[in-house]
Amino acid sequence: MSGGVDSSVAAALMQREGHHVVGVTMRLWGGESDTGCCSVSDVDDARRVAQQLDIDHLVFNFSDDFQEKVVDPYVHAHATGVTPNPCIECNRSLKFSRLTERADTLGFDAVATGHHARLVRNTNGETRVHRGGDAAKDQSYVVHMLTGRELERTLFPVGDMTKAEVRALAAELGLRTATKPDSQDVCFIPTTGGRETFLGKRIPFHSGRVIDTEGHDVGRVDAVELVTIGQRRGIGLYKTEAKRFVVDIDTTSRTVVVGTESDLRRTGLALHSMVWAGGSPESGRYRVQCSAHGASLPCAVEVIDGDRVQVTLDQPHRRVAPGQSAVLYDESDAYVVAGGLVSAASAWPASVGATA
């Protein structure tokens, strides 16, 4: 129970079905936090909802695991010019790994969460993550890493519901989270100071040169570590006549490459650290989604090995920043087949004279 309306209703639905339900809130971040599911107010909301439902409420302190598996990799990624997705890594390492381990230790049968996704058993007896009933709130992308035993022990009680239906049920039950806004921020990044202040306390920043795709100097940035692919603001070129976007970053040489929007578009996408939902890795036709709320795109996938694939999009698309997650769905766009991390392979324009 994160303190939001979805997990509150998930707990209520499990209780309504007659299960013995215990509310659990993970205490993940021990530092300053005023956003997301790590704030003191969110823990308090979860506890109060548990009281309303008359169920026990436990708080598990996983802050050491969170630091090691989520925060440290987040900081390291920025230091090396990679754009991380800490919420997915939290799901991978904490919500659907560490928490499941604790549930096993305590003798629970399943872990239920408030994610908008559905679990469907296919004709082969395999359980797959399907898109949620509310297309606008679908979260199958952020739980794509579920496989095997985790899938068999996970429940998504609100997966078939729309967000409006979730809020309506919460209001009907009188839950204090019924009208609470959804969290949109990285939980360990305070609103005051933001990412720049958070990272500035942990890694040194280095100024860098900004060049165009032909290698000409066009400006400088104060911190290469704060730049990401596709960025337009914050690189000193926002008010120039021609729109320029970051098309590549090299923290080693402290260089940022900018180009036009067409320079940013790619048809190839190299993925590594693949997780396959079931069966053997298989080349073929899929759809790929590269952000939590982005559209999926038709593509062809070539399996290099079980850990790596090459994705070829049917149409050019804005380059996806290395470190982001890309999730493969079946051709009908119904369920998750696999997911991996975007690599920096063949990212540099040849005219710059460097390779990633």
- Number of domains the chain is built from: 3
CB 301 within 8 A of CB 265: no
pLDDT at 34 (0 to 100): 52
What distance in Å separates the CA atoms of residue 236 and residue 41, rounded to the nearest whole number?
38
Residue 256 clears pLDDT 70, i.e. is over it: yes
- Residue 265 to residue 230: CA distance in whole angstroms: 10
- DSSP string over 125-159: S-EEEEEPS-GGG--GGGGTT--HHHHHTEE-TTT
Rounded Cα distance between 23 and 11, Å, is: 7
Domain containing 73 — which CATH number? Answer: 3.40.50.620
Q: What CATH number is given to the structural domain containing 312?
A: 2.40.30.10
Same domain, yes or no: 35 and 108: yes
Nearest to 144 by CA among 10, 5, 290, 268: 290
Q: Is residue 290 part of a domain?
A: yes
Do 39 and 98 fall into the same domain?
yes
Supply the pTM of this predicted model: 0.91
139 in the same domain as 43: yes
Q: Using DSSP bridges, classify how beta strands 265-276 and 284-289 pair: parallel, antiparallel or unpaired.
A: unpaired
| pLDDT tens, position by position, 308-338 | 999 999 999 999 999 999 999 999 999 999 9
Positions marked active-site:
90, 187
Question: Within a 13 Å sphere around the CA of 353, how many CA atoms are in the beta-carbon half?
Answer: 6
Examine the pLDDT at 348 and tell me if it is beyond 90.
Answer: no
Taking residues 14-33, report their average pLDDT: 89
Helix crossing, 5-16 with 40-53: angle to 10°? 20
Q: Classify residue 105: in a domain, yes or no.
A: yes
Pair of tokens at residue 107: 């003798």
Q: How confident is the model at residue 193, as a pLDDT? A: 82
Of 82, 345, 228, 268, the residue nearest 355 (C-alpha): 345
Task: Provide the percentage of residues in the chain whose pLDDT is more than 70.
Answer: 92
Looking at 233, 259, 285, the residue that finishes a domain is 259
Q: What pLDDT does 183 receive?
A: 78
pLDDT at 232 > cutoff 80 = yes
Radius of gyration, alpha carbons of the chain: 22
- Indicate if the pLDDT at residue 37 is higher than 70: no
Q: Last residue of a domain, which of 117, 152, 172?
A: 172
Q: Annotate 202-269 with DSSP letters as a single string.
A: TS----EEEEETTS-EEEEES-GGG--TT--TTSS-TTSSS--EEEEEETTTTEEEEE-HHHHEEEEE
Lowest mean pLDDT among 37-41, 62-66, 153-157, 258-262: 37-41
Q: Using the predicted structure, report yes or no on whether residue 85 has a pLDDT greater than 80.
A: yes
Shared-domain flag, residues 104 and 23: yes
Question: Is residue 251 within 8 Å of residue 80, measured between CB atoms?
Answer: yes
Domain-located, residue 186: no
| 141/52 same-domain check | yes
